[in-house]
A and B are shown apart, each in its own frame.
Chain A
Amino acid sequence: MRFRYVAIRFLQTVPVLFGVSVVVFIIIHSAPGDPVVNMLGIEATDENIAELRAAYGLNDPLYIQYFNWLTGILQGNLGQSLTRNRSVTALIASRLPATLFLAAASMAIAIVIAIPAGIVSAVKKGTTSDYTVTIGALTGVSIPNFWLGLVLILVFARTFSVFPSGNYISPTEDPAAALRHVLLPAVTIGTAFAALLARQTRSSMLDNLNQEYVKMAKSKGLSSRKIFIRHALKQALLPVITVAGLQFGYLLSATVVVEQVFAWPGMGRLIWSSVQQQDYPTVQGAVLIVATLFVLVNLIVDLTYSYLDPRVSAS
């Protein structure tokens, strides 16, 4: 049963990824302006343009261009950047680690803040701590992340010089420095994410605390600490994991903006600068990779969830 579920989920992912690639291709190809003219500048002769168009295969019908692109992708070739003298694959390979590191750090900060806060809020429902968490969570989701980033830079980097304002350092080279440098951008993204997770933890804990088995355990005379840890907490954290995974897209969206604030050399900044320079192959490749990453994370979350809660794959 479980093997079948895993197989089905894998097979379902294929058409989604295929659709994603079609959408990316269509969007980028409907962009205004001729990339070849942009590359050669206004002084290009008609022959030059025609030559380069043929070289890039831009005269072929769209479906052939798409097919060529797709074949290239499957071989790990995303094309050539128009403005930087490098392949799109190489560009992405050089930027992806910074984004993944930032996303992981943000997720870690969010979980560390959100889960205890959500639990306290649920267990002490209706008290001042509950209200504080609820209002804090509302504030967290409502602050625009780029603004929070600027304020954090102002306070912690400029005024007090406690933490550096970004500047990616690879965690494999110098882990301690890497953590110090990722802290401010990760807190910026993690705040809103923590808010989402804290709300989910709270409502999921409340659901479980009201369940029959918790009442049953209480009536058996188990201490509330035991009930809490053995029964409610484990069950309650399942939906939280799912939300954390599903909201990974939110995290990726946030990195695009926050990377800009902290000059973080990741995928978001790559997409941003390529859009500005009309470097369409790079935009195309980078958006495709980000979307693929998101779809795969969702797949992993689904499979983890079905592993932890076998009822899911049964249905």
Chain B
Amino acid sequence: MSSENASGQRDARPTGLQRTWRGFRSHRLALAGLVVVSVVTIVGLVTYIDDTLLKNTLITSIYYSPFEPRFVPLQGPSVAHPFGTDTLGRDVLARTIYGAKVSIQVALTAVLVAATIGSLLGVLAGYAGGYTETVLMRAVDVMLGFPALVLAIGLVAALGFSLTNVIIALGIVYVPQFARIARSTALSVSNEEYVDAAKAMGYSTPHIVFREVLPNCLSPLLVQASLLMAFAIIAEASLSFLGLGVQPPTPTWGQMVSDGSGYLTSAPWISLFPGSAIFVTVLGFNLIGDGLRDALDPRENAERRF
């Protein structure tokens, strides 16, 4: 990569990411995905701040509508309750908004945990080779021997059903995915000349791993992270739907869909809105992941730009 310095630009190191961004920008659907994800993330973030700092003032003001102070169960969408009310007369809009917070919080933290641990282990395995690599990769094979959701259910069953435990479970489940990619990228990167150069210059192994190998593995890991965000949101929603995730009264999208499943004909809005929220958010992350992948693969990039 250092050979692309010919144009004389000084900040040569992030060229990989810069190039990726350029490719990404020209991908219209990926930009749409970015917009959707940003909106959901901002809603989640504001709700999180509202929850931790403002004692839920904002969400309460949505929940208690000034137009309709009473809570009547199973009311269809109206001015007072744009998404209707659920079986207990609760405002579906406010609960869907709060659900965004839970979804994003779980998925983002789980993927961050998995990405950090997985990439470190993978890069270590790929760079160190030998015994370390064998042990780490066999462990990864064992983890990949489980269907993801089944392992997550087992972990949550052992840890207990709570927000933190769902994050831990999904974080563990996705470690191998990152470890595999990081390892194969690290393997190819560690054969590059600039790594040999760093070795020849006498840099320490941590320096080489963190400054030379890891930065050059970032792009494929980023693609994986955004695709796994999509999976993590579905997984969290599935756990909640099964009643094995975050417990009531904290509203989550999966649990809301489950609540409304008995009222599909009489009050479809109860599960329709949270269901659409899951769909749109997951679609957004998938679009970003696709866009990033195309941007990273120069050959595909030329073929599927729309």
- A-side interface residues toward B, CB under 8 Å? 15-17, 19-20, 22-24, 27-28, 30-32, 125, 131, 134, 138-139, 141-147, 150, 153-154, 158-159, 203, 206, 249-250, 252-254, 256-257, 260-261, 271-272, 275-276, 283, 287, 290-291, 294-295
Least Cβ–Cβ distance between B227 and chain A, in angstroms: 9
Instruction: Choose one: A16, A28, A138, A261; the contact of B145 (CB below 8 Å).
Output: A16
B158 at interface (Cβ–Cβ under 8 A)?
Answer: yes
Chain B 53-80, CB-CB to A under 8 Å as 1, else 0, gives 0000000000000000000000000000
- Known contacts A20-B142, A138-B287, A256-B153; is-contact A154 B268 (Cβ 8 Å): yes
Q: Is the CB of A144 within 8 A of B275?
A: yes
Which of A23, A141, A260, A287 contacts B242, CB < 8 Å?
A260
Q: Determine if B167 is an interface residue (Cβ-Cβ < 8 Å).
A: no
| Docked CA distance A275–B154 (Å) | 8
Which one, B158, B243, B258, B300, contacts A28 given CB within 8 A? B158
Contact (Cβ within 8 A) B147 A32: no
- The minimal Cβ–Cβ distance linking A169 to chain B, given in whole angstroms, is 23
Q: Shortest CB–CB separation between residue A175 and chain B, in angstroms?
A: 28
Which residues of B sit under 8 angstroms from A206, Cβ to Cβ?
303
User: Which of chain B's residues 146-194 have a Cβ closer than 8 Å to chain A?
Assistant: 146-151, 153-155, 157-160
CA separation between A196 and B143, bound complex, in Å?
A: 22
Are A252 and B142 neighbours in the complex by a CB distance under 8 Å?
A: no
Q: Is B300 touching A249 in the complex (CB atoms < 8 A)?
A: no
Residue of A nearest to B157 (CB): A275
Given A206-B303, A256-B149, A256-B150, check contact A144 B142 (CB 8 Å).
no
- Is residue B10 contacting chain A, with contact meaning CB distance below 8 A? no
What residues of chain A lie closer than 8 Å to B282, measured between beta carbons?
A: 141-144
- What are 22 pairs between A and B in contact, CB < 8 Å? A16-B138, A27-B157, A28-B154, A30-B159, A125-B303, A142-B282, A144-B279, A147-B257, A150-B261, A150-B271, A153-B264, A154-B265, A253-B148, A256-B149, A256-B238, A261-B261, A272-B244, A287-B150, A290-B150, A291-B146, A291-B151, A294-B146
- Are A257 and B241 in contact, CB atoms less than 8 angstroms apart? yes
B283: Cβ under 8 A from any A Cβ:
yes
> 14 additional contacts, CB 8 Å, given A150-B257, A256-B147?
A17-B145, A22-B142, A23-B146, A27-B157, A28-B154, A31-B157, A138-B287, A142-B283, A144-B254, A144-B279, A147-B271, A254-B149, A275-B153, A291-B150
Which residue of the partner chain, among B138, B144, B154, B275, contacts A287 with CB atoms under 8 Å? B154
When A19-B141, A144-B257 are in contact, do A203 and B146 touch as well, CB less than 8 Å? no
B286 at interface by CB-CB < 8 Å? yes
Q: Are A144 and B287 in contact (CB under 8 A)?
A: no
Contact: A142 with B153, CB < 8 Å? no
**Cβ–Cβ < 8 Å partners of A150 in chain B:** 257, 261, 264, 271, 275
In the complex, the chain A residue whose C-beta lies closest to that of B152 is A253
Interface: B230 (CB within 8 A): yes
Chain A residues positioned under 8 Å from B139 (CB to CB): 19
Closest 9 CB pairs of A and B: A19-B142, A253-B149, A249-B147, A142-B283, A147-B275, A252-B147, A31-B158, A142-B282, A253-B147
Question: Which range contains the number of B residues in contact with the other chain?
Answer: 35 or more
B278 contacts the other chain (CB 8 A): yes
Query: Which B residues lie within 8 Å of A249 (CB)?
Result: 144, 146-148
- Chain A interface helix/strand/loop/mixed: helix
- The residue that B230 contacts in the complex, of A30, A142, A203, A252, with Cβ under 8 A, is A142
Interface contact A250-B142, CB-CB below 8 Å: no
Please name all residues of chain B whose beta carbon is closer than 8 Å to the beta carbon of A142 when the two chains form the complex. Answer: 230, 279, 282-283, 286
| Contact indicator A138/B290 (Cβ below 8 Å) | yes
**In whole Å, how far is A4's beta carbon from the nearest beta carbon of chain B?**
20
In the complex the two chains form, is B154's CB within 8 Å of A147's CB? no
Q: Which residue of B lies closest to A149 (CB)?
A: B261
B234 within 8 A of A: yes
Residues of chain A lying within 8 A (CB to CB) of residue B265: 154, 158-159
Interface centre among B154, B230, B268, B304 (most CB of A within 10 A): B154
